[in-house]
Amino acid sequence: MTLLLEKHISAVVPGKKGLRIQDYCGMYLTRGAGYVKTPAMRGEIWGERPRLFEVRKRGVCMKGYRGTILRVDLTTRSIQRQDIPEFLKRSFIGGKGFGTWLSVQENPPETGPLSPENKIIIVTGPGAGTSLPTAVRSGFFAKAPLNGVILESYVGGSFGHFMKRAGYDVIIVEGAAATPVFLKIIDDQVTIEDASQLWGRDIYETEEELKALLGVQARVLAIGPAGERLIRFACIGHDRNRHFGRMGSGAVMGSKKLKAIAVVGTGRVEVHDPEGLSAYVKDLSRRIREHPGTGVVYPTAGTVNFVAKANALGVFPSHYWHRGEAKHRERIDFDAMSATTLVRQTRCHGCSIGCAHINRIKDGPHAGIEIDGPEYETIYVFGGLCDVGDIRDIIKLNDLCDRLGVDTMHTGNLLGLLMDATEQGRLPDIYRIKFGDTALMIEVIEKLVSREGEWRLLGEGVLTVAERFGLQDLAIHVKGLEPAGYDPRGLNSMAMAYGVGNRGATHLDSNAYARDISGTARDFELAGEDKSVDRFSMGRKAELVYNMINFNAIADCFTFCRFLNRDLLTWEDYTEVLFLLTGMRRSSEQLLEIANNIVTLGRWYNIGLGLSKEDDFLPERFYCEPSAQGTLEGRTVSKRGYQQELEQYYALRNWDNRGIPRFYPHGYGG
Ligand code: SF4
């Protein structure tokens, strides 16, 4: 029931009497027709809603943006260009802000993740397409096939940079094609093309074919057979080994019969102060070189540096979350990689850090395989959770997952669960698999992607598998998302971060493990003189994690890489960069408010799904089952301490003690 003309509407937010309509200036239209009456709270937010955008005459666009949403409907084959409302730029900046707000508007909680109604929303930030280091990333938002919350995933490489140069801040793909297609974007020429010949091909082949067709300057997002067959943890590959990895983005594309998106972008992104930005980038490049993390550790060993460190600290999740150290650590760490497979360093487009590595298997049964990887998280799942004791086997598994298009973190967690259940005698014969059995792991991955017969079940993901075999007490996840490679029993800041994450147990919302390990918070992360962080105590974790999540939320609005913002950038950097790019002035306090608005919007979405405080707790095993060996032996997370900090976290966000926000983040009006 819409009582206003669509063209006047920018947003719909809940008010005391029902939904309130907001116009493009962020003003409420509260008189008479300004309300849409709806019944209950859930319906109040997610009730009948008007279509939010209309094609408008192009006006002058704020610098730093191209000002355009490309909207493609695969059902009707319509292609539209729509202006991004000023309200959206001013209130949510870009990237994560755009993605979260658009998800709430476009994909209400009742949306079926594999239905044509689930819209793909690909976002960039105001820094994309410019010379700003690492701001090449793009974000993928949709309703998640894996666990039903907002799918939020980021990829490096080069797609975001060239999508922006092609003229688009946001791409929305809705509906579903009847037969396989790919989306071809060459600047303002956008067409939906037949992809029948590509259907069934792996991700590497698809990317190569499209580059052969469109030229090497084409940047490609592609799915493999896993995405086509709707595996709920299928990923999207890009630039060979970069991924929108977690939560099932590949399955969303597969459900639309969308095999790939290829972009060629040659336009320029104008910024508010080009000279100022150039001076800023020069200085930032110097800071990157001089910083021990971005100047030494990451360019040398990348994320793999953490394998040895995590083992030494006893927080390298092993033997499906029973141990904190891998017995074979010296065969899977960076030294092992350097000695056996390392070829050279590589990097995302225009990045001056360069944390990635090309590896090639030179001997043994998998000789000849060459990949960009593996990253720490892939080594943790296969080398840790599944006890694979040879870096070459891990590279083989990584290559297989990347070709077929399943995310390594979800795949490794699922196989680890099967291994643990096998050891405990809790699985039917067909699914039994022993820890460290690489040959069988390869077979199982191929079978689960085939989705044939009994193997279909595994493609449904950890929640369904655990439920089917009564393994709920064993399976490790929060809100259906498995954790990254940091054992919270020895990293209590991560315990808090895993629990409160809107998408589940992600490490990327906060990177809190970094403070657990260094033992010190940055100035803005903890108030007062005492900046110490005790990784074995829940004390002050709410404050730390609240500040870290907010800081990262703004980094994701610009789509900065984590390795840049985590230890090097400051709130002052954000305010300066925003001004140089767009001319918008926002103080640190105002950016903090925007960050809290974005996180709270995601929370409203979860409330709309029926999630509650109970879903913010960790799996019971972390509270009750001590890690079995090494530094962490005997350690658990204090549930009492966790609960106290959880309520403190809610209070910092202005949510009540049930975790329900006391306000609706309608945007920042200035
Ligand atoms: S630091 Fe690594 S992941 Fe980040 S942008 Fe650079 S190469 Fe990519």
Lookup: tokens for 236: 């999207």
Q: Does 138 contact ligand 1 (Cβ within 6 A)? A: no
Distance, CA of 372 to CA of 369 (rounded, Å): 10
Q: Please identify, by atom number, the ligand 1 atom nearest to the C-alpha of residue 157.
A: 8
Confidence of residue 7 (pLDDT cuts 50, 70, 90): very low
Q: Say which range, 39-43, 181-185, 391-395, 592-596, has the weakest mean pLDDT.
A: 39-43
Are 433 and 415 contacting, i.e. CB atoms less than 8 angstroms apart? yes
pLDDT at 127: 96
Chain segment 442-478, per-residue pLDDT in tens: 999 999 999 999 999 999 999 999 999 999 999 999 9
Distance, CA of 471 to CA of 151 (rounded, Å): 25
Q: Does 134 contact ligand 1 (Cβ within 6 A)? A: yes
Are 632 and 579 contacting, i.e. CB atoms less than 8 angstroms apart? no
Confidence of residue 637 (pLDDT cuts 50, 70, 90): very high
Residue position matching structure tokens 């090309």: 358
Q: Please identify, by atom number, the ligand 1 atom nearest to the C-alpha of residue 561.
A: 4
Cα(567) to ligand 1 centroid in Å equals 14
**What domains sit in the chain, N to C, each tagged with a CATH number?**
6-46 (no CATH), 68-264 (3.60.9.10), 291-468 (1.10.569.10), 492-652 (1.10.599.10)
Strands 35-36, 18-22: pairing is antiparallel
Chain segment 96-112, per-residue pLDDT in tens: 999 999 999 999 999 99
Residue position matching structure tokens 């309703």: 143
Q: Please identify, by atom number, the ligand 1 atom nearest to the C-alpha of residue 352.
A: 6
Read off the pLDDT of each residue in 650-656 and give the average, rounded to a whole number.
98
Q: What is the pTM of this model?
A: 0.91
Our CA angle for 461, 462, 467, nearest 5°, is: 110
Report whether pLDDT(606) > 60: yes
Best probe residue, ligand 1, of 161, 241, 243, 348 (max atoms within 8 Å of C-beta): 348
Q: Does 357 contact ligand 1 (Cβ within 6 A)? A: no
In 392-414, which positions are buried (b, 16+ CB within 10 angstroms) versus exposed (e)? bbbbbbbbbbbbbbbbbbbbbbb
Distance, CA of 155 to CA of 248 (rounded, Å): 14
pLDDT at 371: 96
In this structure, how many other beta carbons lie within 10 angstroms of the beta carbon of residue 223? Answer: 32
Report whether pLDDT(486) > 90: yes
pLDDT at 627: 82
pLDDT at 47: 39
pLDDT at 40: 34
In this structure, how many other beta carbons lie within 10 angstroms of the beta carbon of residue 595? Answer: 25
Report whether pLDDT(401) > 90: yes
Report how far Cα 213 is from the mean position of its chain's Cα atoms. 30
Q: Does 295 contact ligand 1 (Cβ within 6 A)? A: no
pLDDT at 15: 54
In this structure, how many other beta carbons lie within 10 angstroms of the beta carbon of residue 170? Answer: 26
Chain segment 274-299, per-residue pLDDT in tens: 999 999 999 999 999 999 999 999 99
Distance, CA of 36 to CA of 231 (rounded, Å): 38
Report how far Cα 147 is from the mean position of its chain's Cα atoms. 13
Report whether pLDDT(31) > 90: no
Atom 5 (ligand 1) nearest CA:
134
Report whether pLDDT(317) > 90: yes
Report whether pLDDT(41) > 90: no
Q: By three-state DSSP, how is residue 324 classified?
A: coil
Confidence of residue 241 (pLDDT cuts 50, 70, 90): confident
User: What is the 3-state secondary structure of 447-495?
Assistant: HHHHCCHHHHHHHHCHHHHHHHCCCCCCCCCECCECCCCCCCCCCHHHH
Read off the pLDDT of each residue in 420-447 and give the average, rounded to a whole number.
97
Distance, CA of 529 to CA of 502 (rounded, Å): 31
> Over the chain, what is the mean pLDDT?
91
User: Residue 32: CB partners within 8 Å, gap ≥ 6?
Assistant: none
Share above pLDDT 90 across residues of the chain, in percent, rounded to a whole number: 87
pLDDT at 61: 74
Confidence of residue 660 (pLDDT cuts 50, 70, 90): very high
pLDDT at 30: 37
Residue type, 527: A
Q: Report CA torsion sign: 102, 103, 107, 113.
A: positive
Chain segment 159-190, per-residue pLDDT in tens: 999 999 999 999 999 999 999 999 999 999 99
CA dihedral (242, 247, 253, 259) in degrees, to 10, reads: 30
Strands 150-155, 138-143: pairing is antiparallel
Our CA angle for 100, 106, 110, nearest 5°, is: 100
Helices (H) and strands (E) in the chain — how many of each? 25, 19
Q: What is the DSSP code (8-state) at residue 289?
A: H
Strands 150-155, 219-222: pairing is unpaired
Read off the pLDDT of each residue in 224-230 and give the average, rounded to a whole number.
98
C-alpha to C-alpha distances, 33 to 1, 18, 20, 50, 631, nearest whole angstrom: 11, 12, 9, 13, 64
Q: Within 13 Å, how many C-alpha atoms sit on residue 514's CB side? A: 19
Report whether pLDDT(667) > 80: no
pLDDT at 432: 97
Distance, CA of 123 to CA of 170 (rounded, Å): 5
Confidence of residue 50 (pLDDT cuts 50, 70, 90): very low
Are 264 and 215 contacting, i.e. CB atoms less than 8 angstroms apart? yes
pLDDT at 43: 35
Residue type, 213: L
pLDDT at 350: 87
Q: Does 260 contact ligand 1 (Cβ within 6 A)? A: no
CB burial class (10 A; 0-12, 13-18, 19+) of residue 626?
Answer: middle
Report whether pLDDT(247) > 50: yes
